Amino acid sequence: MHNVAVFCTLSTIEFYYYEHLPKIKKIEVEDDQAGASLPKDHDYKSEEYIQAYNDRLTKFRLIRKINNNFTSNSSFFTLTYAENMQDNNEAKKDFEEFNRSVRRAARRGSIKMDPNYKYVAVIEYQKRGAIHFHMLINSPWLDVRGLKKYWKHGIIRNESVKLREKNVNKGVDNVGAYLTKYVTKFERQQKYLNLYSCSKNLDDPKKMYLYGEDSETVKKLIAKYADAPRAMVNEYISEFHGLIRYEQINIRRAAIESGSDTGMASHNHHSYMVYN
């Protein structure tokens, strides 16, 4: 069982159990669930497989990054165009101008929000081709009326992200998965915002291995969550690792199931510290 990797965010814990580790040192340990839904008889070297793998890899890494920096208390809103905007380059310029203005306003204190401004945004293409943006900012209950003067191309709309409560099946407890559902296309010719845009000061999730310096922490996590309900379980074959078993635990759901508190980690701590 020594071939185990763990990712910890504010809202999820992910376990990867490898059949074996690669003998070639240049090959990085595969620790993303990107291969899970790809056909098992695929050609690993084909351009189609590499593109599909990289697209899923990007999406899963984005989900982790969101879950390690934002919660359902973060402000979530949509930027729309009054006209049918379909030009990616123009949309890029419009969004960057808006984002710069909001970041400056946060630093000056002219908008009531966290001065340590963090954001993540994904682009959604409607069926008619129209572009709009879905955006998270790390300030709770931000009033979009203060942002309207920075977005002059259409409407800013507040989106409700209600936290899942005890004994209630509805609600959001995985903000990363919620936001990335809007990412509907992964086409290389649309390079900029087809996937996402985010601030550079986002904290990366903690990555640990059972065979490394964090082995004791990983052992504690395995023991602590041995009986916790799994939000997702999957198995898939890797060219270098053989069989990989993937297990995801939603901390809030596990806490509700056990009758404890909300289970959400604090942004004031590195995510892995609250699990020791």
Burial state string for 200-227 with b = 16 or more CB within 10 A and e = fewer than 16: eebeebbbbbbeeebeebbeebbeebee
Q: How many CB atoms lie within 10 A of CB 146?
A: 15
What is the pLDDT at residue 68?
Answer: 93
What is the pLDDT at residue 166?
Answer: 46
What is the pLDDT at residue 267?
Answer: 35
- Distance, CA of 144 to CA of 163 (rounded, Å): 20
How is residue 163 annotated by DSSP?
Answer: B
Instruction: Enumerate residue ranges in the chain where pLDDT < 50.
Output: 24-27, 165-168, 186-193, 262-263, 265-276
Q: Are strands 156-158 and 197-198 parallel, antiparallel or unpaired?
A: unpaired
CA torsion 207-211-212-214 (nearest 10°) is 60
Place of tokens 């993937």: 246
Task: Report the chain's terminal Cα–Cα distance, integer Å.
Answer: 20
Domains identified in the chain and CATH numbers: 4-46+205-275 (no CATH), 74-198 (3.30.70.1910)
Distances (CA, A) of 274 to 91, 210, 271: 40, 18, 6
What is the pLDDT at residue 186?
Answer: 43
Taking only the tens place, the pLDDT of each residue in 18-37 is 888 755 444 455 566 655 55
